[in-house]
């Protein structure tokens, strides 16, 4: 009996020694096959790109990514002998599809485009960092489920310098996200310079002070002026930086509400026409763009003309959320507009407002995205709805035949607390959103197979009322962004327990980057 026990133990140890290595890639790949042996990536390794100039920048990005392991950036060459990582575009693959093959002799990354190659390299990067340079032999065949996989950063409540915005983009790229929603204007500050209207940056970007503490309980202000904006040169720099990482930047210019920054700079844009000031509290101002003045639309068209020159994105986000109608009800010009156009109520006036702007943008080759309130009063079939008040708006839009991006606050608001134990969390929102709930997002909720085709993808949102700097951005963003990324990339193969296992290794990724991420999920304290 004793001999049998020893034999069983020995066989167990042998089996463990020869067990296939774990491949802990996030988001979850479509197919993984392990092989024998491993490949070591070090300073002597060369990235080869052939004669495809479009791959050189991708190769150089990867070289910089793995420098913490190799000690210096590996060389990128047209061709090389010896240990190498070979990159190539394969027209047989889809644009974002890739195949990664690792053998003891080296690594081979094929993508349907440079973007697909970059995604393959992001997976290889994870394996390099996890193994401290040693990568198991493996073949990964992978592609995303949804075409739209994004994250939003609000720079209006608290301004983020250019280098922080770039760091945010790097985090998106790490998670294979491909859209950066840039929330640039709001009641608390206008953050983009417009040449035709210089006071937007000069006056509209600065609030005289800021609320201290929680909106619901505090009446204290810090008495310190707060401001910041991006020059057009800086905007171009951000857009270029994102494009190098194959991320599309979608700007948001809020209207008809959340426009107090603009009204402060140019009072004639509002219904009252005077006595505006950049909002010093969080929440919503009653003062909005006047829908009864043609000059309002001329102003917004002028602004958008400069915006579309700066942002090559197919989409322009024009807000549409949380627009109080009190000023419109009191405004003779708005009421006259309603009468002249046969509009029954102020909801239809908002619809008129948004469709007029949309028509202008469509005429300039762009499509609009709006928050789900744009459904009020009716929308055109070319508008895309971003559902934030739960999934209800997105479901209604898809059933009506409009394209939808799911970003419900029930699963995707990353400024919500990460643990029930509030004493561990910095000042912030009172609502609670643990990793499991984020991961549980189902973009197809209540939709038939025919209606599902209208869902473009998913997005995480980070509002910054209580997030004063980028260190706090990282704390709130990570690791929950990984759950949104996996829903966007691997919706058809999600498994929370498997995700949790892979995330324990993916954590090394955050450690290597020096990110100030929240540890509640890893410590079992988020639920």
Token duo for residue 116? 């697909």
Annotated catalytic residue, options 322, 347, 348, 451: 322
The reply to whether 258 belongs to the active site is yes
Number of Cβ within 10 Å of residue 336's Cβ equals: 11
- Cβ(336)–Cβ(292) below 8 Å: yes
Q: How does strand 75-77 pair with strand 46-48? A: parallel
Token duo for residue 171? 């985090």
Rounded to whole angstroms, how far apart are CA atoms 95 and 111? 7
Rounded to whole angstroms, how far apart are CA atoms 367 and 231? 24
**Residue in this structure with the two tokens 């994105």, named with its chain if needed:** 313
Residues in the chain: 527
Rounded to whole angstroms, how far apart are CA atoms 483 and 490? 10
- Cβ(449)–Cβ(142) below 8 Å: no
Rounded to whole angstroms, how far apart are CA atoms 339 and 332? 10
The reply to whether 186 belongs to the active site is yes
Rounded to whole angstroms, how far apart are CA atoms 74 and 133? 12
Nearest 5°: phi and psi at 193?
-75, 130
- Cβ(163)–Cβ(140) below 8 Å: no
- Cβ(317)–Cβ(354) below 8 Å: no
- Cβ(295)–Cβ(267) below 8 Å: no
Annotated catalytic residue, options 175, 181, 258, 411: 258
Beta-carbon contacts of 373 under 8 Å, excluding residues fewer than 6 positions away, are 320, 321, 322, 323, 350, 389, 393
CA distances to 9, 27, 245, 406 from 89, rounded to whole Å, are: 48, 22, 16, 31
In DSSP terms, 385 is beta-bridged to 370, 404
- Cβ(352)–Cβ(302) below 8 Å: no
Rounded to whole angstroms, how far apart are CA atoms 51 and 496? 42
Rounded to whole angstroms, how far apart are CA atoms 40 and 136? 9
Please state whether 401 falls in left (phi above 0), alpha (psi between -120 and 50) or beta.
left
Helix extents (H) in 53-142: 56-65, 67-70, 114-130
Nearest 5°: phi and psi at 247?
-120, 130
Helix, coil or strand: residue 79:
coil
Beta-carbon contacts of 152 under 8 Å, excluding residues fewer than 6 positions away, are 180, 181, 182, 183, 252, 407, 459, 460, 461, 462
Annotated catalytic residue, options 97, 154, 186, 252: 186
Indicate which residues carry an active-site annotation: 186, 258, 322
């Amino acid at each position: 009996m004793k001999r049998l026990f020893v034999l069983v133990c020995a066989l167990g140890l042998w089996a463990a020694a020869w067990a296939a290595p774990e491949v802990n890639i996030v988001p979850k790949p479509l197919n993984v096959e392990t092989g024998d042996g491993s490949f070591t990536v070090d300073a002597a390794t060369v990235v080869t790109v052939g004669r495809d100039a479009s791959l050189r920048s991708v190769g150089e990005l990867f070289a910089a990514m793995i420098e913490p392991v190799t000690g210096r950036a590996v060389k990128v060459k047209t061709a090389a002998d010896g240990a190498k990582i070979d990159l190539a575009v394969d027209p047989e693959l889809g644009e974002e599809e890739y195949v990664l093959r690792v053998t003891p002799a080296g690594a081979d990354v094929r993508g349907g485009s440079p973007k697909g190659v970059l995604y393959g390299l992001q997976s290889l990067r994870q394996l390099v960092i996890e193994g401290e340079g040693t990568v198991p032999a493996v073949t990964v065949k992978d592609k995303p489920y949804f075409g739209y996989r994004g994250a939003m950063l609000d720079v209006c409540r608290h301004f983020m310098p250019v280098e922080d915005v770039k760091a945010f983009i790097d985090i998106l790229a790490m998670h294979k996200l491909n859209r950066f929603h840039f929330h640039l204007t709001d009641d608390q500050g206008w953050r983009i310079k417009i040449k035709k209207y210089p006071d937007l940056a000069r006056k509209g970007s600065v609030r005289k002070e800021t609320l201290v503490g929680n909106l619901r309980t505090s009446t204290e202000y810090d008495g310190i002026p707060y401001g910041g904006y991006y020059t057009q040169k800086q905007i171009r720099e951000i857009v270029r930086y994102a494009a190098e990482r194959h991320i599309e930047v979608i700007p948001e210019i809020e209207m008809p509400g959340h426009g107090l920054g603009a009204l402060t700079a140019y009072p004639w844009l509002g219904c009252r026409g005077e006595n505006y000031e950049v909002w010093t509290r969080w929440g919503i101002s009653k003062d909005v763009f006047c829908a009864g003045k043609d000059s309002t639309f001329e102003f917004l068209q002028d602004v958008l003309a400069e915006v579309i020159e700066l942002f090559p994105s197919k989409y322009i986000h024009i807000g549409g959320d949380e627009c109080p109608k009190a000023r419109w009800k009191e405004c003779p010009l708005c009421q006259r507009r309603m009468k002249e156009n046969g509009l029954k109520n102020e909801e239809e006036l908002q619809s008129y407002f948004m469709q007029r702007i949309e028509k202008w943008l469509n005429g300039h080759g762009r499509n609009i995205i709006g928050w789900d309130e744009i459904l009020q009063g009716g929308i055109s079939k070319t508008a895309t709805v971003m559902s934030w008040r739960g999934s209800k708006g997105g479901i209604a839009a898809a059933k009506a035949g409009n394209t939808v991006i799911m970003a419900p606050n029930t699963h995707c608001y990353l400024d919500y607390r990460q643990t029930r134990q509030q004493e561990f969390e910095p000042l912030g929102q009172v609502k609670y959103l643990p990793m499991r709930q984020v991961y549980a997002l189902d973009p197809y909720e209540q939709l038939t197979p025919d209606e599902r085709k209208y869902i473009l993808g998913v997005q995480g949102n980070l509002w910054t009322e209580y997030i004063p700097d980028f260190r706090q951005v990282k704390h709130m963003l990570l690791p929950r962004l990984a759950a949104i990324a996996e829903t966007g990339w691997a919706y058809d193969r999600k498994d929370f327990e498997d995700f949790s296992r892979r995330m324990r290794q993916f954590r090394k990724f955050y450690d290597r980057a020096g990110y100030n991420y929240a540890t509640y999920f890893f410590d079992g304290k988020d639920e």
